[in-house]
A and B are shown apart, each in its own frame.
Chain A
Amino acid sequence: MTGEGTAKAVITYRQALNDALRAELSRDKNVILLGEEIGIFEGSYKITAGLLAEFGPERVRDTPIAEEGFVGAAIGAAMLGMRPVVEIMTLNFSLIAMDQIVNHAAKIHGMFGGQTPVPMVIRMPGGGGQQLAATHSQNLEVWFAHVPGLKVVAPSNPADAKALLLASIRDNDPVIFLENLSLYNTKGEVPDGEHVAEIGKAAVALEGTDLTVISYSRATTVALQVARQLAGEGISVEVVDLRSLRPLDRETVCASVRKTSRAVVLEDDWLSYGIGAEISATLMEGAFDYLDAPVRRVAAAEVPLPYAKPLELAALPDANDLIKVIRELLDATGFSPAAGHPIDTAT
């Protein structure tokens, strides 16, 4: 982080995003917002509330329902020096724009020999748990994180949301900015003033010594809640918040697990081929000799997410699932709280 602000305000994740957009629209006339219902309607999730009134319809531009068209238009505008910030109403609709994201946004800088940057941001909320059923509850972050040429960030708290959005808008590459529906109303301290995060860096969200939970976005809030709960039992959990999925800060992950010797990955997306798989492979490479047991993964059940609440709850990973896996891993490695590691309950 850079910047000198010291005062902090407690605001929602939604407000943090809104503040970042307002700040960048004010700072740089080349920043424009594009998306469905972001203007008059003020955004499906009100992230852009007030911005049309403040900056006008040319800077805050409502688009037709045409994801391939307006995502691609943002690419072309970026090639000519604009800094478009696109809102796709939900991540699920990005599938309609995948050709533009993968074959164009991600390729244009490299494929044309570095002659034109594509400075654009695609913001979109994903995630299940809202009874939106199979086509409106997906995460799919690995689809984007798999692609060289893209940068992919997934902040878990209001401070990171603001600092990473500022960084993403100022970055000269296409940045996929992943939000989560259930984070919008969460609150946290956000420092006043201009704090710009560095893309590609994970954070140790909570220090611990017995076991590392690696997560990102909404899952980090679950990991932190579990870590604080287990601290009361004498179990010291370190939480690594990835923040950036591409590039992935492998060193911070490995350094943590070299210290704790136990690792669990918590992710909201489906298990197979997921971020957890990538983290597991990274730990095989960078911390194999330090591991006391195989890495465990806690992720969503591999079904199209059902509408009915009991089924939805059963499919999505929650705090109880994480606690169960942590206990299994500790038991398997002969951990005893009484034997005692120093406990750090600091937040």
Chain B
Amino acid sequence: MAERRKPAAARGKDPAAAGRKAEAVEHFPAGEPTERLLGYYAGMVLIRKFELSADQMYKRAKIGGYCHLNLGEEATVVGLMDALRPSDYLFTNYRDHGYALMRGMTPGAVMAELFGKSTGVSKGRGGSMHLFDTGARMMGGYGIVGGQLPPATGAALALTYRGAPGPDAEVVMCQMGDGTTNIGAFHESLNLAAVWNLPIVYVIVNNRLGMGTTVEAAAGEPELYKRGCSYRIPGERVDGTDVVAVREGARRALDRARLERKPALLEVMSYRLRGHSVVDPARYRSASDLEIAQSADPLPLLRRSLLAAGLMDEAQAQDIESEADKKVAAAVAFADSSPDPTPDQLFDYAYASPVANAAHALPGDPLVVVP
């Protein structure tokens, strides 16, 4: 069992872990605009601060239900979302806050959804796991493992009726966790995408743990990017702590979907800094495993790299960080001051098409009135 618990990173085949130490400095590709790199840092900081605030608000009982954070996955989220165009569609799992923010959904409306307020992105109906915004083409966070894959695949099918593949074609990105690759919906979806030539990129965010179960314990092929081979879907694994590497990998996969109308699989090696959800103390994790995750924390890595490369100075870094603090504080204030949905709105959205005889009774109310 000790061997199984050993994180994948310790086995060396993982670019995210290979030689990465706390003092490591990232080397940015030539021609990468400084503004863009600073934008990545700002995005990652915003996610970090938002998630730390969500954790705090959960502990103050402002947020209920399940709440899963992107802590440790910031470079993954920012890199993926920068590669995706506004005209593309996104489906994610329940660990969706960072994706929503990077799709341009306002921190206030996202926090309000976590608070269950009527100003939330899903009008308080969905909560943390179910963020949605038609305008941002964020087609939902989904709480059932694997649940988002068949609908995302069908969204890609719908795109094939809109026009030919090409540089301006729309595509679908479907994000999931490592544990999802073991469920039937994963295999059925990849198979459909392959036989129908669908413009979709399946992204596995491999944070090495499905709740408390390691990838090695759960997956017959733990190198998850290889799992597309049964469907002749090419896979690539990238370092999820390197925002530029994530973006480039995502672009290659998206290009295949966009230009060739063929599915692709991308595995992003990432880390979860905390438990599965805010209430999980992650006692199943060994000290060395956690140490590896912490040493791969993408935020200090990028900060140090930008400083070392002379692309950002300390004052700029602090400006970015305090700007994020302000945005998150404003988001919390907005959520806190927003109205709760009221019981008279309970049956709003019961159906999209009105229908005769819909049962709209509160507990204890009769469904039939005696004349």
Give the B-binding residues of A (Cβ under 8 A).
Answer: 30, 32, 58, 61, 63-64, 66, 68-82, 84, 99-100, 103-104, 108-119, 148-149, 151, 171-173, 198-201, 244, 247-251, 254, 258, 282, 285-289
Contacts and interface: CB of A to CB of B under 8 A. Distances in A.
A119 B357 contact: no
Nearest to B134: A115
A328 B367 CA distance: 30
Nearest to A71: B150
A78 B89 CA distance: 14
A288 B368 CA distance: 11
B158 A103 contact: no
Nearest to B158: A80
Nearest to B89: A80
Contacts of A84: 154
B352 A286 contact: no
Given A69-B189, A104-B147, A249-B357, A286 B370 contact: yes
B355 interface: yes
Given A72-B149, A76-B153, A247-B359, A113 B349 contact: yes
Contacts of A173: 351-353, 355
7 contacts: A72-B189, A75-B151, A79-B158, A80-B155, A113-B120, A113-B122, A113-B126
Give the top 6 A-B pairs by smallest Cβ distance, nearest first: A72-B150, A76-B154, A69-B188, A286-B368, A113-B123, A73-B154
B185 interface: yes
Contacts, number: 189
Contact of B349 (A68, A103, A110, A198): A110
B123 A73 contact: no
Interface residues of B, number: 56
Given A73-B153, A75-B150, A201-B357, 15 more contacts: A63-B192, A64-B188, A66-B192, A69-B189, A72-B150, A80-B159, A112-B130, A114-B352, A118-B352, A119-B352, A172-B353, A173-B351, A199-B355, A285-B367, A286-B369
B356 interface: yes
Contact of B155 (A79, A248, A254, A287): A79
B368 A254 contact: yes
B368 A248 contact: no
Interface of B: 89, 91, 120-126, 130, 132-134, 139-140, 142, 144, 147, 149-161, 184-185, 188-189, 191-192, 195-196, 348-353, 355-359, 366-371
A66 B357 contact: no
Nearest to A108: B140
Pick from A32, A71, A110 the residue with the most CB of B within 10 Å. A110
A76 B155 contact: yes
B164 to A, nearest CB: 13
Given A68-B184, A250-B357, A112 B154 contact: no
Contact of B151 (A32, A76, A200): A76
A282 B122 CA distance: 34
Contacts of B125: 110-113
Contacts of B130: 111-112
B356 A200 contact: yes
B43 to A, nearest CB: 24
B139 A82 contact: no
Given A73-B192, A114-B348, A248-B359, A171 B153 contact: no
A229 B184 CA distance: 51
B158 A200 contact: no
Contacts of A104: 142, 144, 147, 150-151
A13 to B, nearest CB: 24
B147 A103 contact: yes
Nearest to A73: B154
A270 B89 CA distance: 43
Contacts of A251: 357, 368
Nearest to B370: A286
Given A104-B147, A113-B125, A249-B357, A64 B352 contact: no
A110 B370 CA distance: 30
A22 B64 CA distance: 48
A282 B368 CA distance: 7
Contact of A116 (B134, B144, B191): B134
A171 B155 contact: no
Nearest to A119: B352
Contacts of B158: 76-77, 79-82
B304 to A, nearest CB: 40
Contacts of B371: 258
Contacts of A71: 150
Contacts of A30: 161
Contacts of B120: 113
A116 B352 CA distance: 8
Contacts of A285: 366-368, 370
A173 B158 CA distance: 17
Nearest to B124: A113
